[in-house]
Amino acid sequence: MKIQSSIVSSCHGTVVKIFHPSSLSFRKDQPLFLIRTKEGLLKEVVADSPGTIHSFEVSVGDEVVPGMILAYTEEDLLDFESGNDSKASETG
């Protein structure tokens, strides 16, 4: 069984890069987006669990705000039940 989720931004900034835009599947800890914050810092948005991108909701150059959806995802329920979720985290 599959569950749907989304990847959201936790900062104000600009999308600088979308990693592997032609590959819809991703692994845990794989970088998905690179955002330059208003303060000029680069933040990587990485996957917290493996999954599949259903749709990208932003493009390179788009301005983002906290809570803005960057992509919709789908993951296997077995990954979800093991304590993982498909939300992404930002590092930087």
46-66 pLDDT, tens digit per residue, is 988 899 998 999 999 999 999
The answer to whether 48 and 88 have CB atoms below 8 angstroms apart is: yes
Which range marks the domain in which residue 80 is found? 2-91
Which secondary structure element, helix H or strand E, spans residue 81, and what is its range?
helix 77-81
| pTM, full prediction | 0.79
DSSP reduced 3-state for 82: coil
CATH of the domain at 12: 2.40.50.100
pLDDT digits 0-9 by tens, 1-18 = 778 899 999 999 999 999
Place of tokens 């995802």: 73
20/35 Cα distance (integer angstroms): 15
Per the structure, the count of domains in the chain is: 1
Task: Give the model's pLDDT for residue 15.
Answer: 98
